[in-house]
Amino acid sequence: QLKPPRCAGCGIPLQSEDSMKPGFVPASSIDKEEAVCQRCFRIKNYNEVSSVTVDQDEFLKLLGGIASTDSLVVHIVDLFDFQGSLISGLQRFVGNNPILLVVNKIDLLPPVTNWNRLRNWVQKQAREEGLKVVDVVLCSARRNIGFDRVVEAVNTYRQNKDVYVVGATNVGKSTVINRLISDYSDLKRELTVSRYPGTTLDAVHIPLDDGKSIIDTPGIVYSWRMSEIVPRKDLAALLPDKPLKPLTYQLNEKQSLFFGGLARFDFVEGDRQSFTVNISGGLTVHRTKLERADELYEQHRGVMLSPPSTEDLDTFPTWTRHRLRIAPNSNQDIFISGLGWIQANGKQGATVDVHAPRGIRVLLRESIL
Ligand code: GDP
């Protein structure tokens, strides 16, 4: 049995099936002498990291290795998909190492947002998930907001230690790391890649002044996020890239909203009240009567109610129903992982149903705004 060739950079077994997985190389190069994986190629030639992903099991193996190091763990979460991208078991796996929580994509929230209140919200949500963090930093890697505070916090808390950067996919981990690289680029040092001991995962080492490194880990895939199950061509519509434009609907009970063909919201019972929808502008909201909703879906899914489009319907998971009860005066969001959230504005409470693809995380949370 022939062993697969390995990357000359990081030592990972090479493969040419999946460009998102570690060790990818185009088929034409896989048998070349000194072949390097696409990721190492980009790092060597462009000083830029790119995203690779692993499933939860592989990721936990990697996390287990961090516990035996003396390091700072920087956990990047996506503000738009907070409950979907938080690694809730992180504490157990990183041992006594401090965790710095970097909350990315704050550019998506309205400029009037009360940032102090938001920081408190983040701290509270993290605590409820059992995560103890030394600090919370809010930033937008893409718009370069708050980034000096990220660098400052990393410098404050690392104290001559290595820095491991962990996060789910699509939280902007590569964007953050590439910013860090350009911040440190006056060092004019070459980035190196190396294998993480005891695992098959490659990790990128970004050298720091004191001989320590920033270490990028693969992005973890959580199947409960809408962003993991939509066809790749629909990802751009799902992930907002401009500030959210909240849409407020005055609804009577027994009215429904469709979010493209990705999910449906039914106001089942309660006084007339408003609900504010926070989803990507790339998706269309359709409003209808609850009694007509099933029929509308049967007739229009894949076309008017899309994404997903007709050709992807067969492989897209069917919907399951989540019944949620919003308590009076509770100020809550109906959160649909990867899709966004609906703020319930009524004071009298409500009963609502969310129909979402099987496995997608749907929950009630304290309102983010
Ligand atoms: P990774 O998978 O965690 O490495 O994520 P990437 O860095 O590849 O980014 C995933 C997606 O999020 C891309 O479409 C980025 O353009 C986008 N993104 C990254 N940072 C930000 C940010 O600060 N704000 C917004 N709105 N989008 C971001």
CB-count exposure of residue 135 (10 Å: 0-12, 13-18, 19+): middle
In the prediction, which pLDDT does 176 show? 86
In the prediction, which pLDDT does 343 show? 98
Strand partners, 364: 334
Q: What is the pLDDT of residues 208-217, one digit of tens each?
A: 778 888 888 8
Taking all residues of the chain, what is their mean pLDDT, rounded to a whole number? 90
Q: What is the pLDDT of residues 280-338, one digit of tens each?
A: 999 999 999 999 999 999 999 999 999 999 999 999 999 999 999 999 999 999 999 99
Nearest to 60 by CA among 83, 95, 89: 89
Please name each of the domains of the chain with its CATH number: 47-222 (3.40.50.300), 228-366 (no CATH)
157 close to 72: Cβ distance less than 8 angstroms = yes
Span from the CA of 268 to the centroid of ligand 1 (angstroms): 36
* Residue to substitute in 104, 170, 242 for testing ligand 1 pocket (most ligand atoms within 8 angstroms of CB): 170
Q: Return the biggest CA–CA distance within the chain.
A: 70
Residue partners of 313: CB distance under 8 A and separation at least 6: 261, 301, 302
CA distance 233 to 201: 28
Q: What is the pLDDT of residues 41-64, one digit of tens each?
A: 887 777 777 777 888 887 877 777
pTM assigned to the model: 0.90
Residue partners of 278: CB distance under 8 A and separation at least 6: 244, 246, 340, 341, 342, 343
In the prediction, which pLDDT does 202 show? 58
Span from the CA of 171 to the centroid of ligand 1 (angstroms): 6
Q: What is the pLDDT of residues 116-161, one digit of tens each?
A: 999 999 999 999 999 999 999 999 988 989 988 999 999 899 998 9
How much of the chain exceeds pLDDT 90, in percent?
Answer: 63
In the prediction, which pLDDT does 10 show? 76
Mean pLDDT for 157-172 is 92
Q: Is the pLDDT of residue 73 over 60?
A: yes
Q: Which residues line ligand 1 (CB under 6 A)?
A: 51, 104-105, 107-108, 140-143, 167, 169-175, 219, 239, 241
Q: Output the residue whose Cα is nearest ligand 1's atom 17.
A: 172
